[in-house]
Structure 1
Amino acid sequence: MEILDILIIGAGPIGLNCAIEAQKNNLNYLIIEKGTIVNSLYHYPLYMRFFSTAEKLEIDNVPFISTAPKPGRQDALEYYQGIARQKNLNIHLYEKVLKVSKENGIFQIGTTKGNYLAKNVVIATGFYDIPNLMNIPGENLPKVKHYYTEPYPYARQKVVVVGSSNSAVDAALETYRKGAEVTMIIRHSEISKSVKYWVKPDIENRIAEGSIKAHFNAEIIEIKENSVVFKDENQQAHEIENDFVLAMTGYLPDFDFLRNSGIELNGDYLNPQYNFETMETNVPDLYLAGVVCGGKDTHLWFIENSRVHANMIINSILSKIS
């Protein structure tokens, strides 16, 4: 069986960037992706716009052309999938990596479609796969959605939006403007400071005028078929009628996969152990790239500031060869 120089897990923007750098340096590589190219971006809300401007999302100095000041989901899909075509990157799609182990200095990678051998492995799997569950009664009801795509199914419905991050605010505003009766349940005392600056005044004004109801310092404690129960800042329980719950509570990396690959996870945020200069984990020749490096702190790394990981990883691998 062929032994790859590098096997990259994940065909997101950072995984693609790692492949491009490997290709430039004549390293034998393969990307394995469980979905489509930039699969997480594909599953973003249809009308989502990035916080970053186009040039900060570029990889390999390929211009990201966008007619809008802030590119949207479709712009990004066109850009990153276009790069994969232009560079003719070696990618296996709709194939999930199940296990990474190391024996006699070589990684053995088992997937849903076969097995591979590699001298180095890069995990660039992001964090969008596993919802951060509330772990409350009724969370498994069909009306509870942890992923939001578009507002039209929620017209004329009583919708509870959980959270106050960008995804929660977008869901609240979009469903409200399509005729939903929106109530936000927010654990903190205000809308998150990380919300896009051009959106934050909009949601705050809609709350102030009463178009969107918001309960701050509040927490859902139970979801029922036709209602939701939450407690307010005084720990008093309230029950309101409800048709849908959009639980925009964030997402997490696959920590079990990281642990099973031998990576040590530290502290309350389950921060993976890696060398900040090379991105190499405690497992020799096993690297991390992109958002997955932040553990539970999924706001630490994003496309704009993790593009450099590709060069760091490839430079580390080349230094071992020379």
Structure 2
Amino acid sequence: MIAETDIVIVGGGPIGIACALECKKLGLNYVVIEKGALTNSLYNYPKNMTFFSSSEKLEIDEIPFISNKPKPNRDEALEYYRRVSTSNKLNINLYETVLKIDKEGATFKIETDKQYYSAKNVIISTGFYDIPNLLNVPGEELPKVSHYYKEAHPYSMQNVIVVGASNSSVDAALEIWRKGGRVTMVVRGNTIGERVKYWVRPDIMNRIEEGSIKAYFNSEITEITQTSVIIKTTEGMKTLQNDYVVALTGYQPDFNFLKNIGIELSNDDKMIPNYNPDTMETNVEGLYLAGVICGGMETHKWFIENSRIHAKIIIEHIHPN
């Protein structure tokens, strides 16, 4: 049986929810399909994460987001988007994975692991958190290596290497150190990232300067073994005793998924999808992009706060007033 609808929204994150709200206001038939939990990317953030943005910049559809502090944490964001979705009775199917999208004439045929859909329009709002940028070194497949970080407790009293110098890497390094882990950072660049939260950057630099956290800059991992990690540094090769590697080297969109739908990507390392910024429509008529997926490999270009407007732009193009 095929479920027929006006719009299928792929991705149940904040921007997917914003698109659903716009559909509901205009009385359009829609369904949001999310392969994991509601706002799955936010759910997989570290438990103690604090947003860089203030709560009002994370609001969607002008629904107030009240947090205990100016900058909300992960749990407050989950509560906010959960309340927005449930109180508005949004049509969201969770734990359902889109397998294939084909266009037949003016209609899209969507196949998931649970059922089939037919839609006049499709909005892709899938983010980029599911595919990590790999180190591509021997030993990366070992169980001791993780490309995601949830909390510090498992790393207490362990030799831990944190790879990277972004917000996620710095937060992990500081939290693991404060929970009793012996932390070493391996950073390709020559300093801590400039985008690191302004109230956190001095903290990590002070911890490095005093020697509480060891850092190798202009360095990279060349091999991982069960008990050690070999790194290439400006002083030559070094072998470090190691229990765990937390490689927070960033993530990327599912480009194969986009290409299989027919979306064109730029012929460079940025791999930016082809879309009209005035309408958010891709080179495939009736197929739209919303949120961070629009940036390709430029994953720091779009955030919740500056892509909230995509929902209104898209729905106004689909259903002009």
User: Which interval holds the TM-score relative to the shorter structure?
Assistant: over 0.9
Q: Secondary structure at the match of 1:88?
A: coil
Are the aligned partners of 2:166 and 2:195 in contact in 1 as well (CA < 8 Å)?
A: yes
For 1:247, the equivalent position in structure 2 comes to 247
Give the letter for the 1:18 counterpart.
C
Residue deviations 1:210-242 (CA, integer Å, cap 9, x gap): 0000000101011111000010135x2111100
Length-normalised TM-score, structure 2: 0.98
Name the residue aligned to 2:179: 178
| 1:111 correspondence with 2:112 | yes
SS at 1:221 equivalent: strand
1:186-201 alignment, distance < 5 Å: 186-201=187-202
Three-state SS of the structure 1 residue aligned to 2:319 is: helix
Percent identical among aligned pairs is 60
User: What's the Cα RMSD here?
Assistant: 0.9
Which residue does the alignment assign to 2:213? 212
Contact 2:110/2:118 (8 A) holds in 1: yes
Paired residues of 2:3 and 2:116 also in contact (CA < 8 A): no
1:258 aligns with 2:241: no
Q: How many residues align?
A: 319
Give 1:123-162 correspondences, 5 Å limit.
123-162=124-163
- Deviation of the 1:2 alpha carbon: 4.5
Matches within 5 A, 1:82-93: 82-93=83-94
Is 1:311 aligned to residue 312 of structure 2?
yes
Question: Hey, what does 2:13 align to over in structure 1?
Answer: 12
1:53 aligns with 2:58: no
**In structure 1, what is the Cα distance between the partners aligned to 2:185 and 2:3?**
54
* CA–CA distance in structure 1, aligned partners of residues 185 and 298 of structure 2: 23
Q: For residue 36 of structure 1, report the CA deviation from its aligned partner.
A: 1.2
**What's the CA shift for 1:269?**
1.1
Instruction: Tell me the SS of whatever aligns to 2:142.
Output: coil
Does residue 68 of structure 1 match 2:69?
yes
Q: Name the amino acid aligned to 2:249.
A: T
Q: Does 1:101 align with 2:105?
A: no
User: What is the CA-CA distance between 1:91 and the residue it aligns to?
Assistant: 0.7
- Give, as a single letter, the amino acid of the residue that structure 1 aligns with 2:319: L
Match in the other structure for 1:40:
41
Give structure 2 stretches of 5+ with no counterpart.
Answer: none
Kindly tell me: are residues 175 and 2 of structure 1, through their superposed partners in 2, closer, same or farther at Cα, counting changes over 3 Å? closer
CA distance in 2, matches of 1:219, 1:147: 18
Distance 2:295 2:135 in 1: 21
Query: 1:3, CA displacement in angstroms?
Result: 2.8
Q: Deviations over 1:107-147 (max 9, x none)?
A: 00000101100000000000111111111100000000111
**Deviation of residue 51 (structure 1)?**
0.1
Q: Over residues 235-284 of structure 1, what are the superposed CA-to-partner deviations in whole Å (9 max), with x where a residue is unaligned?
A: x2111100000000011111110110100111211111100111100100
SS in structure 1 opposite 2:229? strand
Structure 1 portions without partners, runs of 5+: none
The two structures have a TM-score, normalised by structure 1, of 0.98
